[in-house]
Amino acid sequence: MYMYKDLGFRPIEREDLDALKELHNDQSTFLNLATIHMVDDDDQEAWWEIQKSKKGDERYSLIRQNTDKEELIGRLRIVNIDNANRNCEVGLDILPHLRGQGLGKKSYYMVLEYLFMHQNMNMVYLKAADYNPEAIGLYEKVGFRHTGYLKDFLYRHGKYWNYLIMCITKDEYLS
Ligand SMILES: CC(C)(COP(=O)(O)OP(=O)(O)OC[C@H]1O[C@@H](n2cnc3c(N)ncnc32)[C@H](O)[C@@H]1OP(=O)(O)O)[C@@H](O)C(=O)NCCC(=O)NCCS
């Protein structure tokens, strides 16, 4: 487990799958992702098996370490890992009942420390729908900058929306 204060992330274990399925199937989660689809137990199990052998695409469980036990708080993806150019894409989702308590922000500080200080990444990017102010506000706060967008990329709530692209370089992170 990679630890940052009381938070950490580790490979997804079988006992996490139910909670991660519920997180994914909550509309407050899947409507904010690039593709809308819900999963059943079989889909979730198959996805977990495939993830283990995928290259350049890593999925983790986000954990809060309480005094004597660990609590699953969300999921983390580090994907499109490009080891030649030292960049990757990140994203994370927090369980609905734990949102708004600073866990997303602390998780991003953890992930950026891991990627820049240990994995020697040079640039980290993410994408956010422009109808998701909670996520955009969080990304700006932890240091991501708006660098572009995919116009009319997502159809939600009866219209097309831009998919914002946000980046942070190692130099920006260190300053
Ligand atoms: C986006 C998400 C990861 C944020 O995690 P979180 O734990 O709720 O966020 P935090 O409590 O750490 O909030 C961090 C910042 O986000 C912003 N924020 C949080 N809730 C907000 C709200 N309701 N409105 C506007 N900004 C908000 C604030 O800038 C906040 O900073 P502050 O605490 O200094 O005010 C989480 O809400 C989530 O999983 N959402 C559903 C799925 C999703 O949208 N995933 C991202 C796809 S790009």
Domains of the chain in start order, with CATH, are 2-125 (3.40.630.30)
Tell me the whole-structure pTM to 2 decimals. Answer: 0.95
Q: In which band, very low, low, confident or very high, does the pLDDT at 67 lie, cut at 50, 70 and 90? A: confident
The side-by-side arrangement of strands in the sheet containing 57-65 is 2-4, 7-11, 57-65, 70-82, 87-94, 123-129, 159-169, 145-156
135 lines ligand 1 (CB under 6 A): yes
94 lines ligand 1 (CB under 6 A): yes
What is the mean pLDDT of the segment spanning 24-52? 94
- Phi first, then psi, for residue 113 (nearest 5°) are -60, -45
Amino acid identity for residue 133 in this structure:
P
Residue whose CA is at the smallest distance from ligand 1 atom 42: 29
Does the structure show a pLDDT above 90 at 8? yes
132 lines ligand 1 (CB under 6 A): yes
What is the mean pLDDT of the segment spanning 117-135? 97
Contact predicate 112/11, CB 8 Å:
no
